[in-house]
Chains A and B, each alone.
Chain A
């Protein structure tokens, strides 16, 4: 099951870290970083059903229940 309830222990720090990782990159560089990041995280998750749900949710956030 994809976790959609709050799961980050320090959401503000984590978000800031994401933005900071992009600092100084061109737009193309940022896109490339995002792509690498997605692939790394997908591999870490490794569960087809969870990934399928995440992909669907990213495409259509309104489909989230609750």
Chain B
């Protein structure tokens, strides 16, 4: 029999095998509240977040689990914090390799070392290295756990979306399965179908940006080596295996090596194991024994959609924006999309917030995508200079960096992913001038140790009124939202991160743990007004 939904790639983990759904035999298309297309990290996290908020969600993917191969590796502190809220961070932290330190080399010289998290008092490290299939598996484990606790999440493997037809109050989908086609309708459709997004194509939407004319060979090698757990980056490495090289440790004695190969290459030839080995041997030296675990060649692009919301279709993750991997801003920014979107969609669905709240998803995450694209474009231009003069200056910076601290700040081997502050967002409310800039409205809350654990855990996943050294009602109800209070006594960390020059503070915090507004003391009408703003009623 003909395979109606052929596999496009091999799987590392089969997570949600195809099972026929009653929807496939329904006389007319069944309507669902939310359909997510794509079961990559972003689709899985979206389904998990919505499901844990009680929103019924159906996820469709044309495969049955996590694809094999080397893609995302570095997951940021903010991603871990979000995954912690989603109940998935524990296993990630256990399995992942934690790191905060990086070293930068030019040729055979160490230029400098850097610490990504020079500050203590955070539950999570700056980064963990974890192979993407494991990241997806742990999200899936958390989905299974959430389902067991009653979260209305349904995953449908080998369900390929072949057509989308937007209508005024829903989106219609044509789906292919091993048992043939069927149709569904969705009140809201979230397209997490990756950088090549077939949905984007079906809707005729553009995805413009820049292609970098360079090829990168990614080799994952298995070896017992005693390199430290640090990110090592070489510009013009002495071992000549590429114009730049990167070495990173992964779990299970696997190391990620990236070589920059240039533009005019013979891909097939470069991928021959003997040629890959020649490069790896030159880098590691003749005596190191290793096995090639997985190798591939990538070219990179930086681009985004004009808008992430198109009526009832919302784009998230790589389908909406794509960056070069320098800075690990791909999956990490997609997870921030999820964080931003899920609570808004949940409030719109239960009628608490107007539909226009979803436009703020577009505005805020386009802002995030632009920041990520700018950062990774600049890193790529520094790593792979595009003209002789750009290379001249790049090498001048590297030469100076060995001796002069100022030049180190200019060296750009990737500005590693940090969460975006939604400056200027329509959802932002009052600010207070005496309080620190890092927690101004729009900022993600920095973690801090508190009496029984960590601040971010205490914030949870709804609106919270955080009162430091001051009083506020135990619970406030306004505009259909219940806002519990979190009363805290100032500690050195809370003072540095939230009070600044102020003696006390009241913070209204959004469900995605970004600051909505802040004051020196509680004022019911001010808080209610800020809350209205933050749910799009302002």
Contacts and interface: CB of A to CB of B under 8 A. Distances in A.
B395 interface: yes
Interface in A29-44: 31-32, 35-36, 38-40, 43
B395 A39 contact: no
B393 A35 contact: yes
A36 B392 CA distance: 9
B410 interface: yes
Nearest to A31: B392
B407 interface: yes
B9 interface: no
A38 B392 CA distance: 12
B106 to A, nearest CB: 13
A55 to B, nearest CB: 13
Nearest to B405: A43
A35 B400 CA distance: 10
Contacts of B395: 32, 35
A27 B404 CA distance: 24
A60 to B, nearest CB: 17
A32 B389 CA distance: 10
A43 B410 CA distance: 10
Contacts of B410: 39
A35 B407 contact: no
Interface in B101-143: none
A36 B396 contact: yes
Contacts of B396: 32, 35-36, 38-39
B406 interface: yes
A35 B397 CA distance: 8
A32 B392 CA distance: 6
Contacts of A43: 406-407
Interface string B381-407: 000000000001101110110001011
B407 A39 contact: yes
Contacts of A32: 392, 395-396, 399
A39 B397 contact: yes
Nearest to A43: B406
A42 B373 CA distance: 26
Nearest to B391: A35
A66 to B, nearest CB: 30
Contacts of B404: 40
A34 B393 CA distance: 9
A36 B406 CA distance: 12
B79 to A, nearest CB: 32
Contacts of A39: 393, 396-397, 400, 407, 410
Contacts of B397: 39
A36 B400 CA distance: 7
Nearest to B407: A39
A31 B390 CA distance: 12
Interface in A4-54: 31-32, 35-36, 38-40, 43
A32 B388 CA distance: 11
Nearest to B394: A35
Nearest to B399: A36
Contacts of B392: 31-32, 35
A34 to B, nearest CB: 8
B387 to A, nearest CB: 13
Contacts of A36: 396, 399-400
Nearest to A40: B400
Contacts of A31: 392
Contacts of A35: 392-393, 395-396
A40 B403 CA distance: 12
Nearest to A35: B396
Contacts of A40: 400, 404
A20 B396 CA distance: 20
Nearest to B396: A35
A32 to B, nearest CB: 6
A27 B396 CA distance: 15
Interface of B: 392-393, 395-397, 399-400, 404, 406-407, 410
Closest A-B pairs by Cβ, 6 of them? A35-B396, A43-B406, A36-B396, A35-B392, A35-B393, A31-B392
Given A32-B399, A38-B393, A39-B393, 13 more contacts: A31-B392, A32-B392, A32-B395, A32-B396, A35-B392, A35-B393, A36-B396, A36-B399, A36-B400, A38-B396, A39-B396, A39-B407, A43-B406
24 contacts: A31-B392, A32-B392, A32-B395, A32-B396, A32-B399, A35-B392, A35-B393, A35-B395, A35-B396, A36-B396, A36-B399, A36-B400, A38-B393, A38-B396, A39-B393, A39-B396, A39-B397, A39-B400, A39-B407, A39-B410, A40-B400, A40-B404, A43-B406, A43-B407
